[in-house]
Copies of this chain bind each other. A is one copy, B any other.
Amino acid sequence: MKSDIEICRDTELTPIDSIALQAGLLSEDLTPQGTLKAKVKPSVLKRLADKEEGKLVVVTAITPTPLGEGKTVTTIGLAQGLAKREQKVMACIRQPSMGPVFGVKGGAAGGGFSQVAPMEKLNLHLTGDIHAVTAAHNLAAAAIDARLYHEERHGYEAFAEKTGMAALRIDINRIVWKRVMDHNDRALRMITVGKNQPGKTINGLEREDGFDISAASELMAILALSKDLADMRQRIGRVVLAYNIDGNPVTAEDLQVAGAMAVTMCEAIEPTLMQTLEGVPTLIHAGPFANIAHGNSSVIADRIALKLSDFTITEGGFGSDMGFEKACNIKAQQAGRGADCAVVVATLRGLKANSGLYDLRPGQALPEAIFAPDDKALVAGFENLKWHINNAAKYGVPVVVAINRFPQDSDAELAALKTMIEQAHFSTHVDVAISEAFGKGGEGATELADAVINACQQPANFKPLYSLEQTLEEKLMTVAEVGYGGRGVELSDLAKQQLAELKAQGHDNLAICMAKTPLSITHDPSLKGAPTDFVVPVRELKLCAGAGFVYALCGNVMTMPGLPEKPAYLALDIDEDGNITGLS
C-alpha cells in the first residue's frame, strides 16, 4: 500500500471554492489561502442564524496506545461514509501540533484513504493559527518580564512618574504565565530566565520559568471556546498572568497587552476549510492535546458545520475520559450544545494493549505479537471498551462502537469482538460497526455511517456530569468519581491552598480541565483496562479565567513532551521540486 503522503498526492482534489460552495458557503464568507485552503469568517454565523442545526457526532476512543487507535481516520472515514450515503456532512478537526508531527506520533490528518488533504499543509503551519497563539502567548510573557524589570529598575514610584502608568508591583515569585513553543522540547520544561553576567542586570530579573507546548496555552482554549471576536478579546483581557505583591491577580488587561494579543490572534479565530480525499468539507480549528489541554476543535467551527450540514463529525483526543469528557463538561456547557451521538473507536491491538499482558512503552514501536490473535488479551482488554461505552452513556447519548480494522487483523478476531459487544449489556443504545476507512475510504465506512444514522435517530438526552453552579471540589470529585470511576481526588498541600484562594477570589463557578496521562483512565499510565480502586492525586491547580476553567494537574503529567530516541523527523525530506517524503 502507498504511504499516506503518496495517497494524498495521487488524489485529485477539488478547488476549495467549489468545496465551499457545495457546503453552502458564499465567496464573501471566505478568504482563500491558495486553491486548497480557505479561512472561513465567523460572521457567516449571522447569515445562517435562522438555519436549523444538524446532528453533532463526537468521535472518542478506548484508552489508546501511544500511536493512537485511528480516531481521526475514523472521523474522516465516517464523514466520507455518510457522504456515500448521500448525507450532508462536514467534519471538524483540530490543527495538528508540530510536536507530534516531528516526534512520536506523526501527523494528524487521518491516514490511508481517509485523510484531510493536502495532508502536508494540514500537518505543517496550515494557516498559522498555532503560530499566532504562540506569538500572542509569548508576547504576554515578554511583557511581564519587561514590566517587572523596568518597575524594579526605576522603583515603583519613579516608574509611575516616568511612564504615567501605575506600577503593577508584580510578585516575581508568583508569575503564573509560562512561555510556549509548538515543539516537543523537554529541555525547556524547567528553565531559569533573566540570567546576567556578574554585576549587570541588563537581561531582566532572574527567576525560574518553563515552556509548555503551545496547544496547552490558555489562549488555545480561548480560541476554541470563544463564540466570536469580541468574546475572544474579552476573555484574553481576563487571563491572569501573575499576582502582585499584595496577592491580587495581574491580568492581561492590567498589563495593557490584551489588545495586542487579540490583534495577534485575529485571523486565528477563523476556522480553515479543507477537504477529505473524497471531497467532504472539513473545518480545521484550535489545537490538540486533550490530555494537557481542553483539546477540542472550536465552538465556532462546530457551529458553522452544524448550520451547514445534517451531520457534523468532530473528535475529542484520546479516550472518552480525556477529550470527550472535556467536550461534554467544558465545551458543551460553554457552547450550550451537546453531542447527539458518541462514536467510540476501538482496535484489536488497542484492546490487547489494555489487557496489561504486553510490555508497552511510550516512544517505542508496538511488539509484533500484539497484532496476532490473542483471545485471552482481547477478553481482558474488552473491559476497557465496556468502560468507555458506559462512560459515554453517562452523558446521555447513544453510542456507536467503530472497530477500526488494521490490515493485520483477522476476520475471526474482529467477529469475536463484535459479538462480545453485541452480547454485553449497556445503559444506552449501542450499535457496532467495523470500519475499513483506512484502506477503503468512505466505502469502507458505510456500515459505520449507517450505524451513526441509526443512533442519531435514537432519543438523545445530553447532559454534562456537573453543573457550573457546583463548587470546585464537587466538580473535581465528580470528574474523578463519575468521569473516571475512581474513589475521588487527593489534593496536594499546594493544590489545597490554591483551591482556597480560587474560592476566595470568587472562581467557584468555573469548569474543571483535568491534565492527566491519556494512557490510562487513571492518573497512572501503567494501570490498564478498567481499574476502579484509585484516587486521583491533584498536584496543582491553575486559574484559567479567560478560558473559563480551573486547570488541574494530576499525577506526574507533563505539559511539554519530549522527542524520543528515533523521532519522526528523521524520515522527513524534500526534493528540489518541493515533494515531501516521510510524512505520515
Q: Is the CB of B565 within 8 A of A150?
A: yes
Q: Which chain A residues in 91-110 approach chain B with CB under 8 Å?
A: 98, 102
State whether the Cβ of A504 lies closer than 8 Å to any Cβ in chain B: no
Assess whether B102 is in contact with A259, with CB atoms less than 8 Å apart: no
Pick out which of these stretches binds chain B: A188-196, A408-416, A440-448, A530-538: A188-196
**Cross-chain contact A204 with B187 (CB below 8 angstroms):** yes
A563 interface contact, C-beta 8 A: yes
Distance A32 CA – B17 CA, assembled complex (angstroms): 13
> Which of B124, B138, B562, B574 contacts A229 (CB under 8 A)?
B574
Q: Which B residues touch A119, using CB under 8 A?
A: none
Per the bound structure, the CA–CA distance linking A32 and B39 in Å amounts to 12
A460 within 8 A of B: no
A192 contact set on B, CB distance < 8 A: 191-192, 195
Closest to A270 in B: B578
Q: A124-B264, A191-B195, A582-B259 are in contact. Are A563 and B186 (CB under 8 A)?
A: no
Which residues of the other chain, B, contact A32 by a CB distance below 8 angstroms?
Answer: 32-34
Which of B163, B187, B233 meets A193, CB within 8 Å? B187
Q: Is A500 an interface residue (CB 8 A)?
A: no
Bits for A16-32, please: 1 = Cβ < 8 Å to B, else 0.
00000000000000011
The answer on a CB contact under 8 Å between B572 and A185 is: no
Q: Is A266 close to B, CB under 8 A? A: yes
Complex copy number for this chain: 2
Chain A 167-199: CB-based contact to B (< 8 A → 1; otherwise 0): 000000000000101111111111111111100
CB pair B34–A31 under 8 Å, yes or no, is: yes
Shortest CB–CB separation between residue A256 and chain B, in angstroms?
Answer: 5
A128 located at the interface, meaning its Cβ lies under 8 Å from any Cβ of chain B in the complex? yes
**Chain B residues whose C-beta falls within 8 Å of the C-beta of A205 in the assembled complex:** 187
What is the chain B residue whose CB lies nearest that of A228? B576
B185 touching A142, Cβ below 8 Å = yes
Residues of B within 8 Å of A202, CB to CB, are 186, 558
A31 to B36, CA, bound (A): 10
A420 to chain B, nearest CB (A): 38
Contact B259 A145 (CB under 8 A): no
In the bound complex, CA of A259 to CA of B262 (Å): 34
Query: Is there an interface contact between B267 and A574, defined as CB atoms closer than 8 Å?
Result: no
Within 8 A of B (CB), among A542-569: 558, 562-567, 569
Contact A572 B259 (CB under 8 A): yes
A125 within 8 A of B: yes
Query: Is the C-beta of A421 less than 8 angstroms from some C-beta in chain B?
Result: no
Contact A187 B181 (CB under 8 A): no
A165 within 8 A of B: yes
Min C-beta distance of A125 to chain B, whole Å: 6
C-beta contact mask, A499-530 vs B, less than 8 Å → 1, else 0? Answer: 00000000000000000000000000000000
The CA-CA distance from A31 to B118 in the complex, in Å, is 14
B183 touches A142 (CB 8 A): yes
Q: Mark A247-262, 1 if CB is under 8 A from B, else 0.
A: 0000000001101101
Q: Which residue of chain B lies nearest to A193 when distances are taken between CB atoms in the complex?
A: B187
Complexed CA–CA distance, A139 and B191 (Å): 18
List B contacts of A565 (CB < 8 A).
150, 154, 159, 162-163
Q: Closest CB of chain B to A202's CB: distance in Å?
A: 7
Chain B min CB distance to A57 (Å): 32
Q: Which residues of B contact A187 (CB under 8 A)?
A: 142, 145-146, 149, 193-194, 203-205, 209
Chain B CB within 8 A of A7 CB: no
Report yes or no: B567 in contact with A135, Cβ–Cβ below 8 A: no
Q: How far is the CB of A239 from chain B (nearest CB, A)?
A: 15
Contact check, B142 vs A229: say whether CB atoms are below 8 A apart. Answer: no
Beyond the given A125-B131, A191-B192, please list 4 additional residue pairs across the A-B interface where CB-CB is below 8 A: A98-B135, A230-B576, A259-B569, A259-B573
Mind listing 19 A-B residue pairs with CB under 8 Å? A32-B34, A125-B132, A128-B128, A131-B135, A138-B183, A142-B184, A143-B569, A149-B186, A149-B562, A162-B565, A186-B194, A229-B576, A230-B575, A233-B576, A256-B570, A259-B569, A259-B572, A263-B572, A263-B583
Q: Which 7 A-B pairs have the closest CB atoms?
A: A259-B573, A146-B563, A260-B569, A145-B187, A230-B576, A187-B204, A142-B185
